[in-house]
Amino acid sequence: MKKIAGAFFAILLCGFLPAVSSGQLITIGITGNVSSVYDPHNIFGGQIHSNDTITGTYTYDTSTPDSNPSNPSLGRYWHYSQPCGVSVNINSFNFRTDPDNVNFLLGISNDNGGDIYWFHSYSNSPLPDGTLVDSIAWQITDSTGTALSNDSLPTTAPNLTSWDMDYGLHISGPPRTAFEFEIITNITSVVLVPEPATICLFALGGLMLRKIKFGDFTKS
């Protein structure tokens, strides 16, 4: 009875997953390393260096309308609510879109002198010490114009081998202030992060396989 109840609870849990289970939210995991650090006010106390590892994610909603529908080769998709945005970890520092004031753009340019894929977070949470984070942005370009076939939001992670120019992920503080800084990173891997619904189904499938393997089904 306990095993049946457990399986029922797992199914019930899947049924109550948030809207992400509809497949509209896309989360991309990123990894890479720091290329350069400009820190004139010693904000980071020498704790971020070239070649340090970075990890993070960015999330967007494929149901977001194109704010530039009149141009079929340039899509601009503005996101204004959670959980959309970007989060980047470098050592003990986390740079992220402000969850209470999301202002996150994902752009797709197809066959405009090549293909361009970019995101830009314009409103970001300050660091714990109050340091302002002005911008988090990343852009890749394919000069051959073959990486993209339209300006729609993709449902998969970009294949980095299809893009011949990576301008790096830039994180910066407001210029000409006490918070001025710039970190440039090189992105080496991007992967699609499974949705909660997918994870739940995998877990439930594993549970059912375990029951079959160990003969836990109730005998008739």
- Tens digits of per-residue pLDDT, 75-113? 999 999 999 999 999 999 999 999 999 999 999 999 988
Instruction: Please determine, for residue 30, whether its predicted confidence score (pLDDT) is greater than 80.
Output: yes
Instruction: Please determine, for residue 11, whether its predicted confidence score (pLDDT) is greater than 60.
Output: no
Question: Exposed, middle or buried by CB within 10 Å (0-12, 13-18, 19+), for 130?
Answer: exposed
pLDDT of residue 8: 41
- Listed by start position, the domains of the chain span 1-23+195-220, 24-194
pLDDT of residue 158: 97
pLDDT over 70 percentage in the chain: 78
pLDDT of residue 196: 53
Q: Coil, strand or helix: which one is 21?
A: helix
**How many whole angstroms separate alpha carbon 64 and alpha carbon 97?**
18
pLDDT of residue 10: 45
Can you list the alpha helix ranges (DSSP code H) found in the chain? 2-15, 196-213
Tokens 């499938």, located at residue: 205
Q: What is the DSSP letter of 72?
A: T
Does residue 127 contact residue 101 with C-beta atoms inside 8 Å? no
Mean pLDDT of 1-30: 56
